[in-house]
Amino acid sequence: MASKPSYEDLQKQVEALESEKALLEAFQSAADIVKSIPSGLFIYQYEEPDRLILIYGNPSAEQLTSITVADWIGKGVNEIWPQAEASGITRSFINAARSGEAFETEYLHDQDNRLQGAYRVRAFSMSGMRLGVAFEEISEQKKTEEAQKESELKLKTILDSIQAGIVLIDAATYRIVEANPAAVAMLGIPKIELIGQLCSANICPYDRTSCPITDRIDTYTGECLIANAAGKVIPVIKTATGVVLDGRQYIVESFIDISERKHLEAQLYQSQKMEAIGTLAGGIAHDFNNLLMGIQGNASLMLLNRGPYDSDYDRLKNIEQYIQNGADLTKQLLGFAMGGKYESRPTDLNLLIQKSADMFGRTKKEIAIYQKYQEKIWTVDLDRGQIEQVLLNLFVNSWQAMPEGGELYIETRNTRLNEAYVKSFEVKPGDFVNISITDTGVGIDEDVLDKIFDPFFTTKELGRGTGLGLASVYGIVRNHGGFITVESKKGEGSSFSIYLPASEERIDPKTDPTEPVFGGKETILVVDDEEMVLEVSDKLLERLGYRVFTAGSGKEAVTCLKNAPEKIDIVILDMVMPGMGGKETFVALKAIEPGIKILLSSGYTLDGQAEEIMERGCDGFIQKPFRLETLSKKLKEILGNFNTGSPE
């Protein structure tokens, strides 16, 4: 018969039962917690190395993986997810349990391949050869991260492709935290060095007030200067905008290099300035030529009755020479004024330049001249006298830049210029002949380089130059439909490049013969608003044998032609007159008598309205001041009948 348990034995049994109950309650509590957590939990049993058998899965695990745990209890990972097992998921679980590090994985929820998820997994070893796997689905998080990466990549691609420099600046410290390639290239600083620098050190060192204060200014736009690593100052248009990114205040600054625009604006301003000054210079030259015409006319009248042995003959010839010198000066003014070409004709530039260079070289032995000419040079329609003046001015300019001697290089070439190249020079694209004149002289200071074509600007001492040489070069070249550029550095010489439009006309080989004074018996009407011009013209023409009528305005000319007692053979018509100008007078005279011959006369060059009148059937043009021989020749060319005769 079994012995009755003692009190102590009963007490121990009760304690054991209570302990087991507590343990069961603890297990139950833990199981409830495991069931309620949002993370999935699988517990696997080690069956053999690298084989895990499922023994438990909480509800969250079922929900996250879309499987029924009860159906898969006792089965291995390779049976539940064969695709995942093929990627070594079992080994990944075991390695994670040993290392304690989480990993991410993707695998199919079921064998029908219907769903795929991304998971962050933590594996841990348990007692009794068991392994726990806790995981959470991060598919949406991964999608968000991928979308963010894609967005960041697109933004980077856009920023990298933008030509404007863009930098991101910390508003609290004003230090650069990001920069696109255009900003890096413009500043000439490696990105790794640029990041962290104060924006004022590079982006706006000359305008430190242009950064916006983000709590008071939303956006700033304006022009400022930046300096790159090489020390070059670059004008830019800068826009600065305050933004908030991830709760932090930043400034986005963009800047566009406007150096080319500034250059084009400067060229346009220079062109407009030269045009305005040219108009003034042309007016002065015109009035001065009328004065010279009066002096020349009186000198010619006095010379008619005097021979070389007359006591006043040499003095009168000197006066004529001084008048010619004055006329040459006004030609420079008119050339600068972009007036017109005196007498243009198709020309071989190679022959013209070679002749001028050889003549200059004979007087300046201390300069070695090297010439290189384009074979089959294109023809250019030009006024030979004016272009010779251009060449001489440039040769003299180079000679003065080489006081101790040097080398002068002259070259011609045919070239075709596109619209982009000629746009800033306001000429049409096409075929041009280029003349380059390069010296090894002292060069030109950068601060005066943009002023050298201005009239009356000179670097020479007082009394050593008028400042008209290069100004007239500029005007004459522009007047011929071309343009001129210059490159120079102090101590490295200068190079002038002239571009003249090519012509398809054939070269005229004729020369200007010297003709004697011609007389005549025809009737001439002289129309001019200057009394002194009318007076000397009347006397000169009468001495040549002509019958003369005069008119001080266009209206008087029309009245005279209508009421003249005899037929008028030719009209000498002034171009510029108040009221009824030369063009209107020409039209009115032709309306009265369509066949009447008209010789146009002006203190200006042959341009603008004068060219238009010539194209409409005017018979000739003569530039004031003119000598008696020139006037008599022009009249005979128009009237015909070249009977050489002596005036009374």
DSSP string computed for 281-346: HHHHHHHHHHHHHHHHHHHHHHHTT--TTSTTHHHHHHHHHHHHHHHHHHHHHHHHTT---SSEEE
* Residue 431 binned pLDDT confidence (cut-offs 50, 70, 90): very high
For residues 483 and 358, membership in a common domain is answered with: yes
Domain boundary among 74, 106, 140: 140
- Cα–Cα dist 154/258, whole Å: 27
Residues facing residue 43 across a β-bridge: 56, 132
β-strand 103-108 against 597-602: which pairing, if any?
unpaired
Q: In this predicted structure, what is the pLDDT of residue 645?
A: 45
For residues 375 and 433, membership in a common domain is answered with: yes
Q: Which tens digit of pLDDT belongs to each residue from 336-381?
A: 554 455 567 888 999 999 988 888 888 787 889 999 999 999 999 8
For residues 495 and 349, membership in a common domain is answered with: yes
Using alpha carbons, select from 249, 89, 236 the residue that is nearest to residue 170: 249
- Cα–Cα dist 325/489, whole Å: 34
Phi, psi of 546 (to 5 degrees): -85, 155
Model-wide pTM > 0.85: no
Q: In this predicted structure, what is the pLDDT of residue 498?
A: 93
Domain boundary among 140, 170, 189: 140
Residues 6+ apart with CB under 8 A from 485: 496, 497
- Cα–Cα dist 394/377, whole Å: 21
- What is the domain-level CATH number for residue 301? 1.10.287.130
From the number of C-beta atoms within 10 Å of its C-beta (0-12, 13-18, 19+), residue 234 rates as middle
Q: In this predicted structure, what is the pLDDT of residue 205?
A: 56
- Cα–Cα dist 298/47, whole Å: 134
Q: In this predicted structure, what is the pLDDT of residue 497?
A: 93
* Residue 480 binned pLDDT confidence (cut-offs 50, 70, 90): confident
For residues 489 and 364, membership in a common domain is answered with: yes
Parent domain of 555: 523-639
For residue 115 the two structure tokens come to: 């769903």
For residues 573 and 614, membership in a common domain is answered with: yes
Q: Which residue has the tokens 């007078």?
A: 585
Average confidence (pLDDT) over 463-474: 59
- What is the domain-level CATH number for residue 44? 3.30.450.20
From the number of C-beta atoms within 10 Å of its C-beta (0-12, 13-18, 19+), residue 554 rates as buried
Using alpha carbons, select from 508, 501, 552, 502 the residue that is nearest to residue 526: 552
* Residue 214 binned pLDDT confidence (cut-offs 50, 70, 90): very low
Residue 16 lies in a domain: no
Percent of the chain with pLDDT over 90: 7
Q: Which tens digit of pLDDT belongs to each residue from 146-161?
A: 766 776 666 666 666 6
* Residue 207 binned pLDDT confidence (cut-offs 50, 70, 90): low
> Angle at Cα 260 formed by Cα 259 and Cα 265, nearest 5°?
100
Using alpha carbons, select from 503, 620, 612, 516 the residue that is nearest to residue 572: 620
Domain boundary among 257, 277, 301: 257
